[in-house]
Amino acid sequence: MSHQIETHDDQAAAIFAHKDPWHRLGTTVRGMSFTAQDAMTLGRLGGWRVRKAPVTTTEVTDDGVHVIEVTGKQATIRTNPFTGTPEALGVVGEGYVPIQNEEHCEFLNLLADEGGAVFDTAGSLRGGRQVFVTMRLPRTMKVGGVDDVDVNIAALNSHDGSSAFRVMVTPIRVVCANTQRAALRRNHGMISIRHTTNAKAMVSQAREALGLTFEYVEDFEAQAEQLVNTTMTEAGFIDLSRAVFGTPRAEASKRTATTAKKREQALLALWSDAATQASVRGTAWAGYQAVVEYVDHHAPVRSTDRPADQARAERLLTTSGPNQAKDAAWAFATATL
């Protein structure tokens, strides 16, 4: 599969401070946080020495074999943490500057020193092409006095040129580990840093800029309070779910209609019966959370070589679809506030 936690035999390039419902691979450090050094050693993220090398192509003609250098492009290469051999990760432009995993964790270490955050998860995906590290902040929220929400900072990096170095705030609903995604009007919830010659300097500057993300947390908390105090009927929830996922056209295939019906049944079960909604049932907050819980823990995934929950977690980390669904649910639920 194209998206997966990197493994070698029974070892994985991942580490978790507790048994996260999203993951089933990696070294679990129960009952304690872990350090940046632990992530480098236990999580197999250290010593990759990501570097660039010329890109060449080979042409065979009647005159012999010709090795031709591709100008303007270079390959990113790392040292495999399991085998110690070099391997290519991607093709990038000449101005691309790798951000090492050690720098990735060191940036978050600065935040830990500053605000009391602790490392929570770390790992690599897609054969080392993407790396994630999250930290749990000491701040928590209690929406409506009944629903606990933790606050995490996630830092995501790519070594293949597919995306910038990104740092974002991700509230986590404790009762079911839902990862919230609120499309707020003043959304300072993410910082992107390009892999350019000044990327290292920008990582340092981002520490100060990250203060803006707490505006996101405050806005999220204020609107969540309004949602938990707003009544939503079952009919209103059906409207929300259809606004997010759509409804099949009259001419849709039987398979499409069946898939839509199963999805709606699963959503209604979360809305009306799930224990995770017990304290907030019948509210707009519960309607939003039912959609988020479905996306995070129940949405179908194509997976033949690993558990569905792991495949679902990797999809959340590496694709935009789940977040788009959460954005749409939040926008619908808050439209009349």
pTM of the model: 0.84
The whole-number pLDDT of residue 264 equals: 96
Give the integer Cα–Cα distance in Å for 91 and 34.
33
Is the Cβ–Cβ distance between 126 and 158 less than 8 Å?
A: no
Residue 30: burial class (beta carbons within 10 Å; 0-12, 13-18, 19+): exposed
Q: Which amino acid type is present at position 303?
A: S
Give the integer Cα–Cα distance in Å for 287 and 51.
47
Name which of 230, 308, 234 is nearest 265 in CA terms.
Answer: 234
Q: Which residues of the chain have pLDDT under 70?
A: 1-4, 18-25, 30-32, 112-115, 185-188, 197, 199-200, 202-212, 304-305
**Any long-range contacts for 188-192 (C-beta under 8 Å, 24+ apart)?**
188/212, 188/213, 188/215, 188/216, 189/213, 189/216, 190/166, 191/166, 191/167, 192/164, 192/165, 192/166
Note the pLDDT tens digit of each residue in 186-238. Answer: 666 777 888 886 766 766 666 666 666 777 888 899 999 999 999 999 999 99
The whole-number pLDDT of residue 24 equals: 53
Residue 242: burial class (beta carbons within 10 Å; 0-12, 13-18, 19+): middle
Give the integer Cα–Cα distance in Å for 152 and 172.
7
